[in-house]
Chains A and B, each alone.
Chain A
Amino acid sequence: MDQLVFRFKRYFWLLVLLVILTPQVALAQAANSGFLGGIEAVFQKIVDVLNLFFYFKIGGENGMPLIVLWLISGGIFFTLRLKFINLRAFKHAIDVVRGKYDDPNDEGDVSHFQALAAALSGTVGIGNIAGVAIAIRLGGPGAAFWMTMAGFLGMSSKFAECTLGQKYRIIKPDGTVGGGPMYYLNRGLSAMGMTGLGKALSVIFAVFCAIGSLGIGNMFQANQAFAAVSNVLPFLENYSWLFGIILAAVVGLVIIGGIERIGAVAGVLVPAMAVIYALACFWVILVNITAVPEAIATIIRTAFSPEAVAGGAIGAIVVGFQRAAFSNEAGLGSAAIAHSAARTDEPVREGVVALLEPFIDTIFICNLTAIVIILTGVYADPNSTDLDGAQLSAASFETVISWFPYVIAVAGFLFALSTMISWSYYGQQAWAFLFGDRTVNVYKVIFLLCVFVGTVVNLGPVLDFSDIMALAMSLPNLLGCFLMSGLIARELNDYMSRLKSGAMLTELEKVREPVLK
């Protein structure tokens, strides 16, 4: 009994918070701009301050933000340093995912395919539907070209970070894996004699990741899920707080209540939705097949023409790279947390698998969305200038398949849900790295509050906050990867020479033999 009372006391403050909030939310209904407007104003102030710090622009008002330049340099550097690993390892990546090199005796929790799928459930989010529309709205059709370029270069940065993630992971006594930038920045750099720097970078990363997960993996997803759903259920439009509470409750059931079934259902439905979504894209493209060459020409022409958008070609590049990194997480380091769980003793092998992620996410799915939006021409229609994000994508599909906004609403909701659950895991790992496992419930409560905030606040400040904090993660992560690039290149060369000699497969067969007999 004592224990029950005591347990209750620990959650008492939560109850108090709820009691304080509930009437306010109800009141906000009556005077719409009251409470919710207050949240928005406070949130905007936070974003303004962060902007000052992270969005320092080189070359004046329309210049290149430092942090975007950092991300582009990362992609180009690793593509050149690792001699176009994104091209030359592509076929091997597919072989590995198909299980040709799986060895059940290696340490780790899941197969290469399972690790890739787990990481993809975090990357394939509503950004693939809404993010592309935002990019085209802000940067013109040319932004889609730069997204593709960013996806291509991102394959190399993703390879670098996931190789390191695998190399410096730790297997805990209970068999779970601890991996990701927190570990490789710390352990990798200290192995190179830079203990202090490694420790500092890993802490900085963990702070950015814990906060960043609340943007890219939470508020942005919640915001656009609401946009997609309220698009087909207009009566919800004034009830964003209700949608926010429901969404937070569903996420809460999974991450606090431990109702894994919801997570599992989302895990099954998400790939199905992705396939349905891709098929629908192909259908729209087929219907308008004659206009496809023109659409692709538009994308390429406007990618380089300076008059395309405010900020000219630089504007398109900045927007393209931002949205691509936002969607495929290359350079941010987050996906390395999931990839570290792969069952292998070859770090390079999981890195190779990971480079498929930006390919599937950005070069494939995002491009399909982009072509659909540009083909149907809705983005250029003067009557639809107020459409942005998920609603713009939905309107584009609607021109060909009238009921498709409903599919977007369902797909968007599920994509957002699975991405939020995955990111809560990344954020929780970062939090646990900073404050220990015992306090993760505090993080989970903050996470759920942000689901609510993300739903009720407008897209503008949510996007700004999410962008800044997501790209901020690339500062410590890529810096560490640059410093360890020599090591990555050595590991890669060693792996490739063993792969070419054919020794790898025969070695595997030798190990497998006793199992077969």
Chain B
Amino acid sequence: MSWLKKQSVLIPLDFSELSYEAISPAKEFVAAETSLTLIHVLTPLHPADPAAMWNTLNDHQRKDKVKDFLAQKLGEMGYKEVKIQVAIGDPSTEIIDCAKEIAADLIVLPSHGHKGVSRFLLGSVAERVVRLSPCPVLVLK
């Protein structure tokens, strides 16, 4: 059955419990953990953030810190061989770009079910990823 397995699966993480829960169903689609890529998208630093103002923290350092953090956290959860990516910018755009870059053949992500104002303001990342994705998307409910 291994010909049914996916070669490259992308899982966006936003540090919420729900997003970590997407890893286990995603794992069922691949033969090995190394085929899983996890991505976290950071927002750009505000120019008046004291760290930006004094240039004590740059984008490169922020990415490294998140990579270390995720590697440790995922290691504790038992996922030691997954690939970790960190990007900075608009979440849906970065997720799509990353999917193209790693030639993903599946994206797995949870739908948060935001309600009210924030739902109205920007819609959901999941929605936009579904619309623009180059590959099939599995939205967990």
- Are A425 and B49 in touch, CB under 8 angstroms? yes
- Are B48 and A114 in touch, CB under 8 angstroms? no
Chain A residue numbers with a CB within 8 Å of B63 are: 174
- Contacts A2-B132, A175-B65, A438-B125 hold; do A428 and B54 have CB atoms under 8 A apart? no
Query: What separation, in Å, do the CA atoms of A239 and B45 have in the docked complex?
Result: 34
Query: What separation, in Å, do the CA atoms of A115 and B49 have in the docked complex?
Result: 10
Asked if B122 is at the interface (CB within 8 A of a chain A CB), the reply is yes
Asked if B141 is at the interface (CB within 8 A of a chain A CB), the reply is no
Query: What separation, in Å, do the CA atoms of A353 and B43 have in the docked complex?
Result: 29
- Are A110 and B54 in touch, CB under 8 angstroms? yes
Minimum CB–CB distance from B64 to chain A (whole Å) comes to 9
- Contacts A263-B53, A428-B46 hold; do A173 and B69 have CB atoms under 8 A apart? yes
Pick the residue among A175, A260, A267, A439 that contacts B62 (CB under 8 A).
Answer: A175
- Are A338 and B61 in touch, CB under 8 angstroms? no
Digitize A2-42: 1 where CB-to-B-CB distance is under 8 Å, 0 elsewhere: 11001100000000000000000000000000000000000
Chain B 1-53 residues near chain A, CB threshold 8 A: 15, 42-53
- Contacts A341-B50, A341-B51, A425-B49 hold; do A175 and B57 have CB atoms under 8 A apart? yes
Chain B residue numbers with a CB within 8 Å of A62 are: none
Chain A residue numbers with a CB within 8 Å of B125 are: 438
- Are A3 and B132 in touch, CB under 8 angstroms? yes
- Which of chain A's residues has its CB closest to B114's CB? A436
Digitize A287-309: 1 where CB-to-B-CB distance is under 8 Å, 0 elsewhere: 00000000000000000000000
- Are B48 and A176 in touch, CB under 8 angstroms? no
Digitize B76-103: 1 where CB-to-A-CB distance is under 8 Å, 0 elsewhere: 0000000000000001010010000000
- Are A437 and B43 in touch, CB under 8 angstroms? yes
- Contacts A173-B66, A422-B48, A425-B48 hold; do A435 and B53 have CB atoms under 8 A apart? no
- Are A6 and B61 in touch, CB under 8 angstroms? no
Pick the residue among A114, A254, A263 that contacts B56 (CB under 8 A).
Answer: A114
Interface residues of chain B, those whose CB is within 8 Å of chain A, are 15, 42-54, 56-57, 61-63, 65-66, 69-70, 91, 93, 96, 114, 117-118, 121-122, 125, 128, 131-132
**Sample of 26 A–B contacts (CB below 8 Å):** A7-B93, A110-B50, A118-B50, A118-B53, A118-B54, A121-B53, A122-B48, A173-B66, A174-B62, A174-B66, A175-B62, A176-B49, A177-B51, A254-B47, A258-B47, A422-B48, A425-B46, A425-B47, A428-B46, A435-B118, A435-B121, A436-B114, A438-B43, A438-B91, A440-B43, A442-B122
